Structure formats: structure tokens, C-alpha cells
Amino acid sequence: MNICITGAGGQLGQSFKSLTGAYPQWQFHFADRSIADLSDLSTVDQWLEASQPDVLINCAAYTNVNQAEEDEALARQINVDAVEHLARYCSRKAIPLFHYSSDYVYHTERGIPFRETDATAPKGVYAVTKLEGERAALAAHAGTTVIRTSWVYASMGHNFVRTMLRLGSERDELKVVSDQIGTPTYAPDLAAASLQMLQAWRQGTVSGEDMAGIFNFSNEGVCSWYDFALAIFELSGLECTVHAVESHEFPSPVERPHYSVLNKTRIKKTFQLEIPYWREALGRCLAAIGQ
């Protein structure tokens, strides 16, 4: 089975690369922006024609939440138009498409973990385009699997964990918001769950119909960004005092959700997944970094 993965240079794409050895029966084909640029669909089509996927996994996205407000055209091109293009390709070929979305699409004051069927209320260009992208993909191809996730990080790339480690080594104290509540997601755990989903489908324990649609995924547990920062310093052994502050102390062109915990019942029951607790996942990430 040929599995083709876009966005290979990002955190999630690189996490898939790290797991290929566990699936020697499958052939993986990775494309970063230099090979398949979602802002230039001709390059995507050329790569797909050469790779002939049996499954397409889209890890590419426009993820700069603040910059998207000034670069809406490009954000829409990558998060909506290109995603629909990939879905149409998968529909013509009758192959599964995996696509990743965001907890930002919910953004309501529900106050309890969000289910996939709960109302959405995206705020800002990034959130709006992520929701439009998943809707476009689902409309274009019934075999689309959308996975909404949150607070993604890895041992590589630009993310909260690496930023805290850098700042913690440079400063004696930091301010971190404590009024945004969610759950971190370790990118290798998200990639591993995705491959387990595909394996269940391939083995026939889950049908293509059951695999399609929207699923929530994050690590288990709940924390604030403040709690997350404290855990990073505790587990890494860095000495840095963290002060809890409110979001208004960090003005932003985009309002972040104050509560975006994801209910993962559907994905766990459908695929019999055991999802690691966020602190345990953080420990593995720090070990991979060398902390």
C-alpha cells in the first residue's frame, strides 16, 4: 500500500517519518513544500501522478494564526482550496484522505469537552479557513477522515515546548497565560493514532465508512498553558519562575479559545485506541530533545 504524505517538513509530517519502520509492509512517499506546494497545485498534481497513492495524508496547512489575518488569500488557498483539490483527487481514485483540523473551529463557551457534533464558531481567518477546509473535503469526498486536534508540539520545529525551553534557558522568569484551557498533543502520538486507524481499516476491523468523518484527537488530560509551562520546566530540570497571567496581557489580533478540551470518545471506541496522558507524552518529547 502506497501512503503519500504532504507537509513532510512540518512537525506532523516528520513524526510520520519517524514511524515508518513500524510498518514495513507499507510504502511511504513524503513531499515537503519543495516537492508538493499546496499554493501551487500543479506541483501537487505532478507528485500525485508519480506517487500513485492508495492513501493520501495531508499534513500541510497554513498555521500562523496571527499572520493569517494579513495573509487571508494564501491561508484560504492552502487551508481550503488545496484541501478541496486533494479531496477531489481522492474521490476520483476512490482512496482514503486523512486531513487535520483544529480545536479553534469550536470556540464557544460550552465549558465541557467538545464532541465532533457540537456547534462550531470559528473566530479569525485561521479558524474560519480550517473549518471551511474540512467542510470542503467532506463535501468533495465521502472517504475523507478529518481529525481535529489541539496544541500540537514535537521535538522539532516551532512550538510551545521548544519556545519555553529556549526562553527558560535565557530568563529567570516568564509570564504564561492561565485562562486558556485545553490539552497538548504530541505529534508522534497523533501520527501513531492515524496509522493505527489505517491499519484497522486495512485489516477489515473497521470499515471505510466508519473511518470517514470527523474525529477529535489530543493526548489525555486537561491543562492551561501555564500548567504546561510548569510541567516543561519541572520535567526538564530548568529553573525558571513562571507567573500566571490573563490573556489580555498578551494582545493579539486573534482571540484564542478560552476552553477547547476535546472529547475523544468516538475515536477511542471506533479504533480501540489507548491515548497517552499529556505529561507522559511531554516526558517522551523532552527525552527526544535531550532534556
Catalytic residue among 100, 126, 153, 226: 126
Nearest-angstrom CA–CA distance, 224 and 26: 38
Q: How do beta strands 27-31 and 144-149 pair? A: unpaired
Contacts of 8 (CB under 8 A, 6+ apart): 14, 16, 17, 30, 31, 32, 35, 59
d(CA 261, CA 255): 16
Has 153 been annotated as catalytic? no
Amino acid at site 116: E
Strands annotated E in 62-207 = 97-102, 144-149, 152-153, 173-177, 181-182, 185-186
Angle between helices 82-93 and 125-140 (to 10 degrees): 20
- Which residue in 245, 241, 240 sits closest to 291, CA to CA? 240
Give one DSSP letter per residue of 75-109, joined into a string. HHIIIIIHHHHHHHHHHHHT--EEEEEEGGGT-SS
Query: Which of 187, 273, 156 lies closest to 5, judged by CA?
Result: 187
**Phi/psi of residue 126, each to 5°?**
-55, -55
Q: Which residues are catalytic?
A: 126
